[in-house]
């Protein structure tokens, strides 16, 4: 499962979008407690962010980042508080709900792209808070920032660059908090490190899938997996 999670991180960075990343914690939580699954994926996500950063250096939306990042800090704090206090059964149901939200968001994302939108400062605050909260609680912070950037009509390269630097900062912020709260401990970190070389392999796999698998079919496959894991966690 850890190897599969590392490959999924690479697939995300290889250009196949955030949906495979939403499966990371749900898949790992089938074999370990949710909090441990969240902690185990963090080193992989940081490695993936560092891997992508040179490609998108300075290609981000600075204005959007200035609005989102302060609120993201608050969201991370609230997410960690829930992660470390809720019992595992409750966390599984919350994780299931978040997974279903990601799937439903994807179904409606085309509508978002077509909406007439008037930007407001608080929209950036809300997107930053939601992404920080979801990232800390279950590593599913992509929908709020994705929706916000879609509504801003962000160019594709700027879109990816903004999400890369945003989540790198958020994940680095989470790292010492996870260590202090023991969401990520020494044994989990050691068990995770051996998977990091699989991330570049996942990037290559993602690029190959883009060449041979029609994007629409891939999206429907990911949607099916998201709905299945979300319902399983919610009912379990």
**pLDDT tens-digit profile of 185-195?**
888 888 788 88
Which 3 state secondary structure label does DSSP give 94?
A: helix
Q: List the Cα angle 56/61/64 in 5-degree steps.
A: 140
For residue 236, pLDDT beyond 60:
no
pLDDT level of residue 235 (50, 70, 90 thresholds): low
Q: What would the pLDDT profile of 17-66 be if each residue is shown by its tens digit?
A: 655 666 777 777 777 787 888 888 888 888 888 877 887 788 888 888 99
* Mean pLDDT estimate for the chain: 78
Task: Determine the Cα–Cα distance for residues 191 and 206; give it in Å rounded to an integer.
Answer: 24
Task: Determine the Cα–Cα distance for residues 80 and 21; give it in Å rounded to an integer.
Answer: 19
CA-closest candidate to residue 65, choices 18, 11, 19, 125: 125
Task: Determine the Cα–Cα distance for residues 105 and 141; give it in Å rounded to an integer.
Answer: 12
The pLDDT, as a whole number, for residue 99 is: 67
The residues near 127 (Cβ < 8 Å, ≥ 6 apart) are 67, 68, 71, 144, 145, 147, 148
> Is there a contact between 79 and 129 (Cβ–Cβ < 8 Å)?
no
DSSP state, residue 103:
H
| Token code pair at residue 78 | 């609230």
Q: What would the pLDDT profile of 69-125 be if each residue is shown by its tens digit?
A: 999 999 999 888 888 887 777 766 776 776 677 667 666 665 555 556 677 788 888
Mean pLDDT of 153-172: 84
Q: Which residue has the higher pLDDT, 104 or 130?
A: 130
> Is there a contact between 113 and 155 (Cβ–Cβ < 8 Å)?
no
């Amino acid at each position: 499962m850890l190897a599969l999670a590392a490959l999924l991180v690479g697939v995300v960075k290889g250009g196949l979008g955030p949906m495979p990343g939403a499966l990371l914690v749900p898949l790992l939580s089938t074999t370990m407690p949710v909090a441990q699954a969240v902690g185990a994926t963090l080193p992989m996500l940081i490695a993936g962010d560092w891997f992508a950063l040179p490609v998108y250096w300075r290609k981000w939306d600075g204005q959007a980042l200035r609005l989102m990042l302060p609120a993201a800090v608050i969201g991370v704090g609230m997410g960690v508080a829930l992660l470390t206090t809720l019992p595992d059964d409750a966390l599984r149901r919350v994780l299931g709900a978040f997974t279903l939200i990601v799937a439903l968001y994807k179904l409606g994302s085309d509508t978002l792209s077509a909406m007439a939108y008037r930007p407001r400062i608080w929209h950036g605050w809300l997107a930053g808070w939601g992404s920080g909260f979801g990232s800390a609680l279950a590593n599913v912070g992509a929908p709020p920032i994705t929706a916000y950037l879609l509504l801003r009509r962000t160019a594709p390269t700027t879109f990816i660059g903004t999400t890369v630097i945003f989540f790198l900062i958020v994940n680095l912020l989470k790292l010492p908090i996870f260590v202090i709260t023991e969401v990520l401990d020494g044994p989990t970190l050691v068990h995770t490190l051996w998977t990091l070389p699989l991330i570049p392999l996942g990037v290559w796999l993602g690029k190959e899938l883009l060449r041979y698998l029609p994007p629409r079919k891939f999206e429907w496959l990911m949607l099916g997996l998201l709905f299945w894991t979300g319902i399983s966690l919610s009912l379990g």
